[in-house]
A and B are shown apart, each in its own frame.
Chain A
Amino acid sequence: MSLTEAGPVIQARALNLTFQTGDGPVHALKDIDLTIEKGEFVSFIGPSGCGKTTFLRVMADLETPTSGSITINGTSPEEARRARAYGYVFQAAGLYPWRTIGGNIRLPLEIMGLGKVEQAERTARVLDLVELSGFEKKFPWQLSGGMQQRASIARALAFDADILLMDEPFGALDEIVRDRLNEQLLALWARTEKTIGFVTHSIPEAVYLSTKIVVMSPRPGRIADIIESPLPKERPLDIRDSPEFIEIAHRVREGLRAGHGDDV
């Protein structure tokens, strides 16, 4: 444990990934260099096709890079996946309709082979974390879209991994629900001190949540800019009206525009 805490949590060096498609090769990731330290909240932002989701999937061992190296806690992504080093939240909640909310959260715990008592204890704890206590016995269709997404976050948290990878988890939700979930996510991050990788296409969301913003650009997918946020860890919603916030948002927008080149 002390060994992994010493080094960076995620380290990518000269990472490339090319998909072979019917229309020829697609360079999804090009020369990605990135280091993520423990406890950071890193957002990946960029237009569709910039490889942000692909990069997250590489970290999760759901895609295999073509060249370059990447380590998670000092090991390969596959070893990290087998060691259940991360929780993953997908774009859609993807709850199993035949399982209750509690049953969905217990799914990874059953697979890990935990005992019933610990399953119940962890389920109760993560439901409390996402403010869904009392909904354990409900089926997914009985919950709103925002509540379903919170349940899927609880499912990823139940894992109790130090890394949380989130792929546009709030993309399908409306602005009001999204604000609230952003606030909750920050509170949760502060409480659990997890390392979070977060894919989004919303500039305010990226700036509001992150300690580090990775701006990406498409064709080929590459990193256009890495912005270390000077915002304090404590962030009320109205921080979004502060000059610092607007300045970072501006820099993100500049990065996105530069990356786009002549496409727009």
Chain B
Amino acid sequence: MRGGLAILVVLAGFWLLWMAAVPPMNMKWEVSQAQRAGAEVVLPEGNIRDASALWLTLRNPGLIPGTYVQEKPRLPAPAQVFAELWDTTVGKRLSSKRSLVYHAWITLEATLLGFALGTGLGILLAVGIVHNRVMDASFMPWAIASQTIPILAIAPMIIVVMNSVGITGLVPKAIISAYLSFFPVVVGMVKGLRSPGLMQLDLLKTYSASGWQTFWKLRLPAALPYLFPSLKVGIAASLVGAIVGELPTGAVAGLGARLLAGSYYGQTVQIWSALFGAAIVAAALVGIIGIAQNMTLRRMGFGR
């Protein structure tokens, strides 16, 4: 109950901050419109460009309501964003190109495929790194280096290279997703697979267990509690990867396309609603993994 209240307080804080930021962000345009319409506005001496947004807002309080309902605001008001969200999800047919659900689904496909690829690759790499000294020494630095390259720089290259061999659409985006999501999985799994203590390994040695049995009965189950937090980071990174992968494709479809199209045409409301859409999808994906985590770990006796 108290937790719920605390969450509401934080939400209210965000909302207030947002509401307070809208008038100064949008005031200049409001003032110049009012001026053009011949209304009385308070201006500083000299050019309007030199006036600070805060100064204009404080001196022209009558114009504040207008800042919340502009068609192309610098910072849209919460109500505008949520109205757009509502309109583009519930208000449109799912197959419509204007439906955010349609675009989110396009991005989600790439996210899930990329996440599956990245997780699979990450687990395989971790198994190799734990069992093979050469792989440990040779792969880990590359894995770390791969994450220091800005994804915005490498994404267009992946798209272009794959395009030149005739692979377009879903797969290149998924590969960018996988590129971002394999790393947390590698790190978590390596730590998890190495988590069994010397005593537990000795125990299996006294059973004269094979390497395969040691992996299957000890290392893998011991790694699962480490895997799930990595999957949560990985799936969020996958979504970012899919969105970034949509930017250089010429903005055909997907949340990334909505972001890019919105910025081409100054549709800030559309940009913000796409951002919120992405955040909601990410939260849902992380939530689903959280549920899987709870169910799995409880079945394994870790739950308490």
Which residue in chain B gives the minimum CB-CB distance to A165? Answer: B206
Chain B contact residue count (CB 8 A cutoff): 21
Contact of B146 with A by CB under 8 A: no
B209 close to A111 (CB less than 8 A): yes
Query: Which chain A residues (66-106) contact chain B, with CB distance < 8 Å?
Result: 81-82, 84, 86-88, 90-92, 94, 96-100
| Binary contact readout B274-304 vs A (1 if CB under 8 angstroms, 0 otherwise) | 0000000000000000000000000011101
Given A81-B208, A108-B207, A111-B207, answer yes or no on A139-B200 (Cβ-Cβ < 8 Å): no
Given A94-B200, A98-B302, A100-B301, answer yes or no on A86-B206 (Cβ-Cβ < 8 Å): yes
Contact of A110 with B by CB under 8 A: yes
Instruction: Give the contacting residue for B203; candidates A94, A100, A112, A139; CB below 8 A.
Output: A94
Given A97-B302, A111-B213, A139-B301, answer yes or no on A88-B206 (Cβ-Cβ < 8 Å): yes
Chain A contact residue count (CB 8 A cutoff): 27
A244-B209 Cα distance, complex, nearest whole Å: 44
Kindly list chain A residues whose C-beta atoms are within 8 Å of the C-beta of B304. Answer: 141
B209 close to A97 (CB less than 8 A): no
Contact of A14 with B by CB under 8 A: no
Given A94-B203, A141-B304, answer yes or no on A84-B208 (Cβ-Cβ < 8 Å): yes
A98 close to B301 (CB less than 8 A): yes
Contact of A60 with B by CB under 8 A: yes
Contact of A107 with B by CB under 8 A: yes
Which residue in chain A gives the minimum CB-CB distance to B296? Answer: A98
Contact of A114 with B by CB under 8 A: no
Query: Which chain A residues (196-251) contact chain B, with CB distance < 8 Å?
Result: none
B interface, by DSSP: helix, strand, loop or mixed? helix
A62 close to B207 (CB less than 8 A): no
| Binary contact readout A22-63 vs B (1 if CB under 8 angstroms, 0 otherwise) | 000000000000000000000000000000000000001110
Query: Which chain B residues (184-229) contact chain A, with CB distance < 8 Å?
Result: 197, 199-200, 202-209, 213, 217-218, 221-222, 224
A111 close to B301 (CB less than 8 A): no
Q: Would you mind naming 12 contact pairs between A and B with Cβ atoms under 8 Å apart?
A: A62-B205, A87-B206, A88-B203, A90-B199, A94-B197, A107-B207, A107-B217, A108-B207, A111-B204, A111-B209, A112-B207, A140-B301
Q: Which residues of B contact A (CB under 8 A)?
A: 197, 199-200, 202-209, 213, 217-218, 221-222, 224, 300-302, 304
Please name 18 further chain A to chain B contacts, defined as beta carbons within 8 Å, in addition to the given A94-B200, A107-B217, A111-B208, sorted by A numbering.
A62-B202, A62-B206, A81-B208, A84-B207, A88-B202, A88-B206, A90-B199, A90-B202, A91-B199, A96-B221, A98-B300, A107-B207, A111-B204, A111-B217, A139-B301, A140-B301, A141-B304, A159-B207
